[in-house]
Amino acid sequence: MESTHFTNAVFTFLTAVCAFLLMGTGFVFAHCDTMGGPIIKSAQKALETGEVNLVLMWIQKKDEAELKQAFEKAREVRKLNPAAKELADMYFIETFVRLHRAGEGAPYTGIKPAGTDLGPAVEAADGALESGSAKKLLKLMTETVTHSIHEQFERVMELKKHVGESVEAGREYVEAYVKYVHYVEKLYDDATAKMAHHGEHEKEHKH
């Protein structure tokens, strides 16, 4: 009974976590530097159409001038011949991704090929946005995190029984306890931070 109650409580919490992680400032993709990802696709579309505004939303305002300059250079050079087009497009894409990642406080590590395996979480997150339903994403995240929390919880409870047996046993318990609490704390902090940001965003629009 206690185990069932624990699982249900975690499911409810994680449903709220995942829902709020999908809200807020918009898309945040972990594959912004892959050729098959939405960031680079928007860059390719901008180059083909000449609409630089398609990519400006992905970077910070302070970087607009640099990106626009790279865009104009690429648009001119790509007219010369197919080889020049390929080089010009890659030059712009690399500049674009570098500026985007810098805006997120992340280093530029190059462009990854389309089809790069980024794990089930990213695939599920994108799939949710494409289908308009977060059902599969919530199921994946709920099952994964529920399993992790429950596994750590059980380990801490078992080690707690042997705390007084020796200093080593006590230290093993403390190590497991700290890991368990920090994991839960980070989940909660990430979720409530998104909730707070979303609330502030709504207030700004009302005013």
Question: Which pLDDT value is given to residue 167?
Answer: 94
pTM recorded for the entire structure: 0.53
CB 101, CB 110: distance < 8 Å: no
Tokens of 76: 């001119």
Kindly give the confidence (pLDDT) of every residue in the chain, 207 residues in length, as a single tens digit, with 9 standing for 90 and above: 544 444 444 444 444 444 433 333 333 444 566 777 778 888 999 999 999 999 998 889 999 999 999 999 999 999 999 999 999 999 999 999 999 988 888 888 777 766 666 677 777 877 888 889 989 988 988 898 899 999 999 999 999 999 999 999 999 999 999 999 999 999 889 888 755 555 555 555 444
Q: Is the dihedral of CA 46, 100, 108, 194 positive or negative?
A: negative
3-state secondary structure labels for all residues of the chain: CHHHHHHHHHHHHHHHHHHHHCCCCCCCCCCCCECCCHHHHHHHHHHHHCCCHHHHCCCCHHHHHHHHHHHHHHHHHCCCCHHHHHHHHHHHHHHHHHHHHHHCCCCCCCCECCCCCCCHHHHHHHHHHHHCCCHHHHHHHHHHHHHHHHHHHHHHHHHHCCHHHCHHHHHHHHHHHHHHHHHHHHHHHHHHHHHHHHHHHHHHHHC
Question: Which pLDDT value is given to residue 22?
Answer: 37
With b for 16 or more beta-carbon neighbours within 10 A and e for fewer, the 104-142 pattern comes to eeeeeeebbeeeeebeeebebbbebeeeeebeebbebbb
Question: Which pLDDT value is given to residue 2?
Answer: 46
- Burial of 54 from C-beta contacts in 10 A (0-12 / 13-18 / 19+): middle
Tokens of 124: 């599920």
Rounded to an integer, what distance in angstroms lies between the CA atom of residue 36 and that of residue 42? 10
Question: Which pLDDT value is given to residue 166?
Answer: 94
